């Protein structure tokens, strides 16, 4: 309960001003394509040089919280996921925006973000020691199986058929091998200098999601003379809250999956949203509505990616190991003031530690309030004529891809992947499984190689990867996930044949 | 007419050329860091360049751009092949990393592709074990490795980086075979493997290990440097413990420019940058973050690069 004692510090004038500034600025940065939470926080670090340690961290904490949620804006309205965390949000969110329900989608996403986010920070406050143990429990073999579990999701994710989903996943896995191999330093498929660093995930996200859509919009613009105007339905916040409360399953699964997976160093943040989306879909009574603009999809994805924020800081704050790129940047923000995360932080600088954590709690609420205010206005984006919209999205895409590393190479990568995806989409392939392959490939590979090296020196590969409680549990989940997908596929085939027979 | 224009153009470029050297720098400067935001190199680069905009330094700010990937190869490849050699594109170097990588091959740079400006820090590699490990000195580690050849697993941040060099030197000095496990994700991932007990020990940066020891997670058994560190006065060096390991693996960090940068610009930078590093505010922030400073001039760095290239060639010859 120590944290309540330090709540006052969050509300001192300068601190609160920074909190407000960080939250609003974070929402804007998060909504800008290409500016991931990591980059947004890195951009703010120089400002903290001139601030007290506590104030600097308030700014960073607020910005981290709200950039993650802000990513939903471009994901829903423009179909550009600003970071891997927002991929799952595009699946149903953008469909809703197209149906004129952009305001509703945004309101739901901010409410779900706040609910998930507050739960995550509360976990950080009350269960930190327990969570730290859990974060360390995942060694190379477990991370490998976790990545494989992610691969089993690929088939059922947002595709016309399981086979096409798996094929897109394979393309993603192949794309992930491009570049220098991170462990051995071997060069693979580098046929152009800008591919030396591999395919940048942010540039790929923008290309795969936004560009096909731009091309489609241009293509349509020529066919229909007048601009298609979508009626943007007004949606009251009260209705959105009621809708959220009517979907406790999506909210619960999203929040819990997000918190658990977000905790695992190096993996969590990127796949928490997608795994939560997939789990919610499997447990939902309205499976067929997913991908068609279903509110549960948005709720689960956004609850998960904000629930991850608190737990993802556990390894940093307790063990002084940054578990995610954003945590690494925050570590810099602490070190610059001579504060070492770990026991030093909580014993000698409790004011800094708890004010930082409290600011994330208050930041979640502020983020939600501003987000809801913006939602009504932002949803009007859908009324912009298609041809204008296409130009805007294209400009933002180029800007976003360039800004990742100030490199034109990433823009070319984005353009090539985008054009390729446009044709793939026409054949019923979809971007989400491809991106999942791109994310999971390196995780599975690096952990397999690393685990293999440890295994060869100690107990041997089969004992290392196939024994131990956590390994067996993960393998069981993998098997269950595959079996479930196969069963669903068979069942739906049987139904179609029946219908076809009747017709 | 065409001649006139051509003549004017030549005159103008000539003017611009001389003007450039005199007025340099007249716009903000970019510095490429070949590791991700938040890593030790990035963090230190941001601190040592924070006073660049002061009148007594360069008078123009330095912006950090990260081009991470493959242990630094991606960024340095870019710097050697695509960066403008006009003095507005600097890069941070990590020795022995880039020299070891160029000896190993498969990259488009070597020590000759770059011109050093100044060195700001030296971060020795240290041997760490988990806080509850039975090992209490390097002698314990060597004894275990002698009894169980190839069975002692220890982590480090990749192949052909400072940690790997230290690992090779320790194995060579002790005459034992151990299992070096390179991790993806740099020193942080290697440290996590040690703390979580996935490996029996690890090589890590002194600055990160010092922090982890303060947090009570690890024990530091030895420093791979010629003398003890000010941060860890109680931890003996490898040589004190009878292992002939010199300072070849010490991670020297500094600033460099591409090879064809104008000589006047190099001289101007070489004169101002070490002064900039010596700033009080910089020193205070670096010390607060647990980052050891070691300022060296351009000539000293040149010597150090040459010496490293020599020792690394010998060490890596058998691989």
Q: What is the pLDDT of residue A38?
A: 83
pLDDT band at B16 (very low <50, low <70, confident <90, very high): very low
Q: Do B204 and B269 fall into the same domain?
A: no
Q: Which of A236-240, A263-267, A364-368 has the lowest mean pLDDT?
A: A263-267
SS3 of residue A187 by DSSP:
strand
Q: Do B225 and B273 fall into the same domain?
A: no
DSSP A188: E
Residues in B closer than 8 angstroms to A185, CB to CB, are 70-71, 73, 101, 104, 106, 158-160
Position with higher pLDDT, A155 vs A411: A411
Closest to B50 (Cα-Cα) out of A93, A45, A122? A45
Of B106, B192, B290, the CB nearest to A187: B106
Torsion, CA A181, CA A184, CA A188, CA A191, rounded to 10: 90
Q: What is the pLDDT of residue B259?
A: 92
* DSSP codes, A234-301: ---HHHHHHHHHH-HHHHHHHHHHHHHHHTSTTTHHHHHHHHHHHHHHHH-TTGGGTTSS-HHHHHHH
pLDDT over 60 (residue A150): yes
Q: Do B25 and B90 fall into the same domain?
A: yes
Tokens of A33: 């394509």
Contact by Cβ (8 Å): B201, B128: yes
Contact A320 B211 (CB under 8 A): yes
Q: How many domains does chain B have?
A: 2
pTM, to two decimals: 0.85
Contact B198 A322 (CB under 8 A): no
> What does pLDDT average to over chain A?
84
pLDDT over 80 (residue B233): yes
Residues in B closer than 8 angstroms to A453, CB to CB, are 153, 179, 181-182
At B20-31, the pLDDT tens digits run 556 788 899 999
At A415-424, the pLDDT tens digits run 999 999 999 9
Contact A266 B185 (CB under 8 A): yes
Task: Give yes or no for A347 touching B (CB within 8 A).
Answer: no
Q: Do B16 and B112 fall into the same domain?
A: yes
Contact by Cβ (8 Å): A176, A438: yes
Of A136, A187, A457, the CB nearest to B153: A457
Residue B300 covered by a domain: yes
pLDDT over 80 (residue A500): no
Residue B283 covered by a domain: yes
> What is the C-alpha to C-alpha distance for residues A463 and A368, in angstroms, rounded to an integer?
48
pLDDT band at A222 (very low <50, low <70, confident <90, very high): low
Position with higher pLDDT, B175 vs A84: B175
Tell me which of B241, B270, B297 is where a domain ends.
B241
pLDDT over 80 (residue A126): yes
pLDDT over 70 (residue A498): no
Q: What is the pLDDT of residue A348?
A: 83
pLDDT over 50 (residue B15): no
- Taking CA atoms, what residue in B is nearest to A346? B215
Tokens of A492: 């739906």
CATH number of the domain encompassing residue B50: 3.40.190.150
pLDDT band at A42 (very low <50, low <70, confident <90, very high): confident
Burial (Cβ within 10 Å: 0-12, 13-18, ≥19) of residue B81: middle
- Taking CA atoms, what residue in B is nearest to A320? B212
Contact by Cβ (8 Å): B83, B216: no
Contact B179 A329 (CB under 8 A): no
Q: Which of A190-199, B85-94, B279-288 has the lowest mean pLDDT?
A: A190-199
- The kind and range of the H/E element at A141 are helix A140-154
Contact A405 B198 (CB under 8 A): no
Task: Give yes or no for A321 touching B (CB within 8 A).
Answer: yes
CA atoms within 13 A on the CB side of A275: 29
What would the mean pLDDT of A327-344 be, rounded to a whole number?
82
> What is the C-alpha to C-alpha distance for residues A468 and A168, in angstroms, rounded to an integer?
33
* DSSP codes, B142-173: HHHHHHSTTT-EEEESSSSSHHHHHHHHHHHH
Q: What is the pLDDT of residue B22?
A: 67
Contact by Cβ (8 Å): A431, A209: yes
Contact A180 B69 (CB under 8 A): yes
Residues in A closer than 8 angstroms to B74, CB to CB, are 179-180, 196-197
> What does pLDDT average to over chain B?
88
Contact by Cβ (8 Å): A210, A418: yes
CATH number of the domain encompassing residue B216: 3.40.190.10
* DSSP codes, chain B: -HHHHHHHHHHHHHHHHHHHHHH---S-EEEEESS-TTSHHHHHHHHHTTTTTSTTTTSS-EEEEE---GGGHHHHHHHHHTS-SSSSEEEEEEETHHHHHHHH-SSS--GGGEEEEEEEEEE-EEEEEETT-S--SHHHHHHHHHHSTTT-EEEESSSSSHHHHHHHHHHHHHT---EEEE-SSHHHHHHHHHHTTSSSEEEEEHHHHHHHHHTTSEEEEEE-SSS--SS-TTSPBTGGGT----STT-EEEEEEEETTS-HHHHHHHHHHHHHHHT-HHHHHHHHHTT--EEEE-HHHHHHHHHHHHHHHHHHHTT-
Q: What is the pLDDT of residue A158?
A: 63
Tokens of B16: 């611009």
pLDDT band at B56 (very low <50, low <70, confident <90, very high): confident
What would the mean pLDDT of B179-184 be, rounded to a whole number?
90
Contact B196 A322 (CB under 8 A): no
Q: How far is B11 from chain A (nearest CA, A)?
A: 32
Place of tokens 């990035």: B42
Q: Give percent of chain A with pLDDT exceeding 70.
A: 94
> What is the C-alpha to C-alpha distance for residues A12 and A17, in angstroms, rounded to an integer?
9
What would the mean pLDDT of A287-305 be, rounded to a whole number?
89
Q: Do B129 and B111 fall into the same domain?
A: no
Q: Do B118 and B132 fall into the same domain?
A: no
Of B30, B184, B215, the CB nearest to A183: B184
pLDDT band at B14 (very low <50, low <70, confident <90, very high): very low
Contact A42 B37 (CB under 8 A): yes
Q: What is the pLDDT of residue B13?
A: 46
Q: How far is A420 from chain B (nearest CA, A)?
A: 25
Tokens of A396: 């933002």
Residues in A closer than 8 angstroms to B66, CB to CB, are 42, 405
Disruptive mutation site among A142, A332, A440 for chain B (greatest number of B CBs within 10 Å): A332
* Structural domain for B187, as ranges: 125-241
């Amino acid at each position: 309960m120590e944290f309540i004692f330090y709540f006052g510090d969050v509300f001192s004038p300068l601190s609160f001003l920074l909190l407000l500034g960080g939250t609003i600025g974070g929402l804007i940065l998060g909504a800008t394509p290409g500016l991931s939470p990591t980059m947004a926080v890195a951009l703010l670090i120089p400002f903290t040089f001139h601030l007290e340690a506590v104030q600097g961290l308030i700014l960073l904490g607020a910005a981290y919280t709200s950039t993650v949620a802000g990513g939903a804006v471009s994901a829903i309205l423009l179909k550009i996921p600003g970071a891997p965390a927002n991929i799952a949000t595009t699946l149903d969110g953008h469909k809703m925006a197209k149906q004129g329900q952009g305001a509703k989608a945004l309101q739901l996403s901010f409410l779900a973000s706040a609910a998930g986010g507050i739960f995550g920070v509360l976990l950080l406050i009350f269960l930190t020691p327990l969570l730290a143990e859990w974060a360390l429990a995942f060694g190379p073999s477990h991370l490998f199986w976790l990545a494989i579990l992610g691969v089993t999701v690929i088939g059922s994710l947002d595709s016309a058929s399981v086979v096409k989903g798996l094929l897109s996943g394979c393309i993603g896995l192949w794309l992930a091998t491009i570049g220098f191999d991170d462990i051995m330093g071997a060069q693979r498929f580098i046929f152009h200098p800008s591919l030396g660093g591999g395919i940048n995930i942010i540039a790929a996200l923008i290309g795969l999601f936004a560009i096909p859509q731009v091309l489609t919009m241009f293509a349509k613009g020529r066919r229909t003379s007048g601009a298609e105007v979508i009626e943007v339905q007004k949606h009251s916040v009260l209705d959105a809250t009621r809708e959220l409360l009517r979907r406790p399953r999506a909210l619960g699964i999203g929040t819990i999956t997000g918190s658990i997976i977000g905790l695992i160093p190096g993996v969590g943040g990127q796949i928490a949203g997608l795994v939560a989306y997939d789990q919610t879909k499997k447990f939902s009574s309205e499976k067929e509505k997913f991908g068609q603009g279903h509110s549960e999809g948005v709720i689960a994805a956004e609850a998960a990616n904000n629930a991850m924020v608190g737990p993802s800081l556990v390894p940093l704050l307790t063990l002084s190991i940054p578990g995610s790129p954003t945590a690494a940047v925050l570590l810099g923000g602490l070190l610059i003031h001579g504060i070492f995360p770990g026991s030093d932080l909580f014993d000698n600088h409790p004011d800094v530690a708890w004010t930082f954590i409290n600011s994330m709690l208050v930041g979640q609420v502020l983020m939600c309030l501003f987000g809801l205010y913006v939602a009504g206005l932002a949803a009007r984006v859908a009324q912009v004529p298609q041809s204008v919209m296409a130009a805007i999205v294209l400009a933002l895409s180029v800007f976003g891809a360039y800004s990742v590393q100030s490199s034109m190479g990433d823009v070319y990568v984005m353009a090539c992947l985008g054009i390729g995806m446009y044709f793939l989409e026409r054949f019923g392939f979809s971007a989400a499984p491809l991106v999942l392959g791109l994310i999971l490939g390196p995780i599975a590979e690096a952990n397999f190689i690393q685990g293999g090296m440890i295994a060869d020196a100690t107990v041997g590969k089969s004992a290392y990867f196939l024994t131990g409680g956590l390994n067996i549990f993960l393998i069981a989940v993998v098997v269950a996930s595959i079996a479930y997908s196969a069963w669903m596929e068979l069942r739906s085939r049987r139904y179609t044949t029946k219908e076809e027979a009747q017709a | 007419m065409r001649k006139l224009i051509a003549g004017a153009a030549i005159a103008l470029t000539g003017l611009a050329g001389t003007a450039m050297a005199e007025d340099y720098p007249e716009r903000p400067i970019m510095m490429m860091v070949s590791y991700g935001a938040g890593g030790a190199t990035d963090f230190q680069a941001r601190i040592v360049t924070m006073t660049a905009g002061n009148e007594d330094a360069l008078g123009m700010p330095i912006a950090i751009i990260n081009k991470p990937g493959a242990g630094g190869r991606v960024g340095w490849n870019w710097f050697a092949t695509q960066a403008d050699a006009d003095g507005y594109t600097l890069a941070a170097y990590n020795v022995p990393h880039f020299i070891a990588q160029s000896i190993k091959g498969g990259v488009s740079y070597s020590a000759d592709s770059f011109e050093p400006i100044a060195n700001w820090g030296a971060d020795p590699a240290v041997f760490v074990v988990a806080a509850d490990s039975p090992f209490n000195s390097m002698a314990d580690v060597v004894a275990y490795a002698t009894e169980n050849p190839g069975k002692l697993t220890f982590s480090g941040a990749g192949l052909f980086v400072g940690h790997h060099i230290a690992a090779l030197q320790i194995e060579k000095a002790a005459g034992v075979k151990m299992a070096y496990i390179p991790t993806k994700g740099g020193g942080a991932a290697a440290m996590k493997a040690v703390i979580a007990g996935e490996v029996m020990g690890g090589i890590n940066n002194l600055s990160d290990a010092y922090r982890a020891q303060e947090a009570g997670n690890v024990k530091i058994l030895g420093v791979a440097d010629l003398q003890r560190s000010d941060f860890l006065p109680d931890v003996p060096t490898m040589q004190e413990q009878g292992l002939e390991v010199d300072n070849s693996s010490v991670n020297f960090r500094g600033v460099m420019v591409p090879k064809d940068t104008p000589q006047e610009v190099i001289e101007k930078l070489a004169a101002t940058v070490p002064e900039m590093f010596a700033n009080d505010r910089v020193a205070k922030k670096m010390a607060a973050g647990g980052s050891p400073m070691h300022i060296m001039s351009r000539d000293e760095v040149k010597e150090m690069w040459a010496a490293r290239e020599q020792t690394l060639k010998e060490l890596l010859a058998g691989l």
